[in-house]
Structures are given as structure tokens and as C-alpha cells.
Amino acid sequence: MGEKLMKIAAHWKSALYGLALIAGLSIISSPAMARCTVGDCWGAVAYGPNDAWAWEVNFEDHDTAEHMALQKCSGRCTHVLTFRNTCGAYVSGRGGHGWGTSRDKNAAVGRAMMECSKIASNCSLRVWACTSR
């Protein structure tokens, strides 16, 4: 009977380790786990030549958001646009680009598209992101 109890204990131990691993991964990858206080959240969109872009959101300061977006772009991005407690969108086309911010994602994209269309042709959305606010 002791051997049966040891097998049951080993089974439960494995199950608990598995659950702990799943819980840990869900916390690490959860977008709700902000690295900022709601109401003071920074985001950044980085972009560069050859259609390079990256984004990061929910950092407690401007510099960290900017650094993280550039890091995510792996050295291919040359410019960074930052935003606070809102959404940001980057649009590019032949001859230029546009950038927009708004509390609403669609409005941010619309502003970026309008800005790009004033100076470029064939403008299309490259990236957008919103902070937790």
C-alpha cells in the first residue's frame, strides 16, 4: 500500500508542477500585466528602412518604452515615436510616412493615414499599439 501512495503522490506532484508552469507562463505573457500604473503608461513605435518596425507598450517612462521598442526591432529601426496613455499608429507609403495618436485606435490610424497621404502615395498601416491607459 505504501508504493501505491507514493505513485499517487508522485502523480500529484507532477500535476502541481505542470499547473505552476502554466500559471507562470500566463502571468509572464499576459498583456494585462502592465509595467506601469494605469494613467501613467508609455508606449513606443519604432520604424526604419526596408519596412522595419516594432512596438512596445505599458512602460512607466518614455525612455524605457523607446529603448524596448528599439531593442525589439533588432537594430533595424532608426526612428521612434512615443505616446502616453493613448494609442499610436505608424503608416508609410511611397515618398513618406504619417504618425497619429488618439485614445481610439481607429482615430489614431486615421490621423496617421491622413498625414501620410498629404506627402506620399500608396500609404498603408504598418503598426499600431495602445497603452493600458
pLDDT bracket for residue 23 (50, 70, 90): very low
Q: How far apart are CA 77 and CA 7, in angstroms?
A: 55
Backbone dihedral angles phi then psi of residue 104, each to the nearest 5 degrees:
-110, 130
Say what the pLDDT of residue 28 is.
Answer: 36
C-beta contacts of 62-68 below 8 A and 24+ residues apart: 64/35, 68/44
Per-residue pLDDT tens for 71-94?
999 999 999 999 999 999 999 999
Mean pLDDT of the chain: 82
Instruction: Report the candidate in 119, 92, 91 with the shortest Cα–Cα distance to residue 105.
Output: 91
Residue extents of the structural domains in the chain = 1-30, 42-130
Hey, which of 20-34, 45-59, 104-118 has the most confident mean pLDDT?
104-118
pLDDT in tens, 96-106: 999 999 999 99
Exposure letters 91-116 (e unless 16+ CB within 10 A, then b): bbbeeebbbbbbeeeeebbbbbbebb
Average pLDDT over residues 1-11: 55
Note the pLDDT tens digit of each residue in 36-70: 998 899 999 999 998 899 999 999 999 999 999 99
- What confidence score (pLDDT) does residue 35 get? 86
Task: Locate 25 and state its grid cell.
Answer: 507562463
> Quick one: pLDDT at residue 128?
93
Task: Assess whether pLDDT exceeds 70 at residue 11.
Answer: no
